[in-house]
Structure 1
Amino acid sequence: MKSYLKKSLVAGCLFALMLLGNESFSQKNSMPVSVSIFNEATAIPFTKFTTRPFHPGIQVGSGFAYNQHRNHQWLQTINLIYYFHSDLNHGIGIYTEFGYQYMFKNGISFSPLLGVGYMRTYSVNEEFALDNGQYVKRKDKGNGRLMPSLSLEAGYYPKKNFNGTKFFLKYQAWAEYPYSPGFIPVMTHINLHAGVQFNKH
């Protein structure tokens, strides 16, 4: 990935964080904090719901609403994510999502979200490079890639209010691009999250 693209993605995520930290903005918008654990898998999106074996991950995030009504809102999230795939790699990333959320009278909500971010992965296996006819161990400096995503989230607000606690399940389809140009251009993943969101006022 070209350096200017990396900088643009990181700058966009940092801008969202600055909005969250802005005192005047925060006074008008509650500041949600979400934490989820998830199972990561390399799979074609929407062909599987759960996979085995379990590859653990954790995500911590926040966000804000652009225009909030009683039962629906447009929203943006900002998230830090880490996963460990025992057969492939482990990765750490930052990404932002834009989405729409609708809440029914019983407190159940539904949200489609589109996201983009930056993911850096490190191999779980030793790496070697050919040097003067011999293979020598090479330090893994990691690989940085674009991280587009599409997520579907189902949630439940016990108090039937967007500013209250939410429990949620989230199906996230995402990709690493470019992965291995000329061989595997795109590597697709699915994450199945279970988490909770609460608001910091």
Structure 2
Amino acid sequence: MEGNMMTTLNLVLMGLPGAGKGTQAQKIVDEFKIPHISTGDIFRAAMKNGTEMGIEAKKYIDQGNLVPDSVTDGIVEERLSEDDTNAGFMLDGYPRNIDQAHALETMTTKLDKSINAVINIHVDPAVLVERLSGRFICKNCGATYHKLYNPPKVEGTCDVCGHHEFYQREDDKPETVKNRIAVNTKLNTPLIDFYNEKKLLYTVNGDQDINDVYKEIQKVLRAI
């Protein structure tokens, strides 16, 4: 793509927990030099900067409540109104549901920054359960292992301190992981259908080497 021929990349990045979204997000940002807008980060920034929506969000968070869509939408719109998004951006963690997807469509039309691609990193949920529930920790020294990617050199013995007792965090237990993936699948399915109908959805295979996943993403983004 030559000089000014390049289309502004306004992306949404999707994927279930464990699909490798964080790794791919970093690669996209490094190559295409667009701001990575993750809802967690912009919430923290809006609260720290005391923006109108940040103050509103803080009220809910301080009480341990979920931030309503209207406030989340407001914080995203505040962030997308900033000048650094004029040359493109990548949203991560938003939209989370169909109402937010409609709100995003409205605000990006208003700001003249319409989404032109939704990248969905797809990995079979059974593979994700294995990826996410494989982590275990040495009870004695806290060294972290993974049964698939980083097992101890000698089975049942910690490489660091030689102890033999390990445990799993609640978050990493297969049942917890299965539940988390089921909840996220339920949220993501209507979004996938929504963007598919709009011909904005590009699904890439996340169950391959990290660099091969990125090659697939690159192909999509360079074609836009």
TM-based fold match above 0.5: no
Task: Report the TM-score, using the length of structure 1 for normalisation.
Answer: 0.25
Q: Which has the larger radius of gyration?
A: 2
Task: Report the TM-score, using the length of structure 2 for normalisation.
Answer: 0.23
More strand by share: 1
More helix by share: 2
